[in-house]
Amino acid sequence: MFLADVPGPRRVIATHERFTGKVWDVASDEVDLGDDRVVTRDYLRHTGAVVIVALDDDGRVYLVRQYRHPVGAECWEPPAGLLDMAGEAPVDAARRELFEEADLTASVWHTLADYYPSGGGTSEAVRVFLARGIAAVPEDRRHVREDEEADMLGEWVDLDAAVAAVLDGRIHASSAAVGLLAAARSRDAGFASLRAADAPWQRPEATRLIR
């Protein structure tokens, strides 16, 4: 059996705007499921995001430890960021986030995995990139980080050790779970699973751009 998600949005009879926030909005849709079945579904509208698994020649990945307020924890995770700039291609957003969060650049980019973090509650779609050919950004060109990112730590970690931390329940970010396990699986298969950086993406249309 060939497994693949099937695009098939249902007709929305009405939309009620419940909350407008700094970054995301919350809406309620009245959805026609057919056969006289109409349900109301609340969800968070999300611009989408990119995650970058930066892998060096020694088999290490670069992880950052960042404070995540909703879960009250400093989480180890790959560099990541929102698709919140109008007209910016996802791979260009990934390049920007790697530069800003990790002080790194990469010369080789591939799509590693795509996922919906919580398809029952948010329209967020995430693309994970594998970045290789890593180089450090000179200190005089580095991005000045602010807010939660100002105290962010970064470390190179052996990929297998990072995967073990996911499986042991020591790190919890969905970007780490998906990105690190996908990277290890792809590496073990000779990277045959990698797709082009601009591969087709089944992504809900972005509904909010904040920049």
Enzyme catalytic residues = 149
Sign of CA dihedral 165, 69, 202, 97: negative
Q: What does residue 126 show for φ and ψ, rounded to 5 degrees?
A: -125, 135
Q: What residues have CB less than 8 Å from 139, skipping those under 6 apart?
A: none
Could you write out the DSSP letters of every residue in 63-122?
EEEEEEGGGTEEEEE--EEE--STT--HHHHHHHHHHHHHSEEEEEEEEEEEE-TTTTTB
Distance of alpha carbon 135 from the chain centroid = 22
CB neighbour list of residue 37: distance below 8 Å, 6 or more residues apart = none
Distance of CA 198 to the CA centre of its chain: 15
DSSP structure class, residue 55: B
Instruction: Supply 207's token pair.
Output: 């509904």
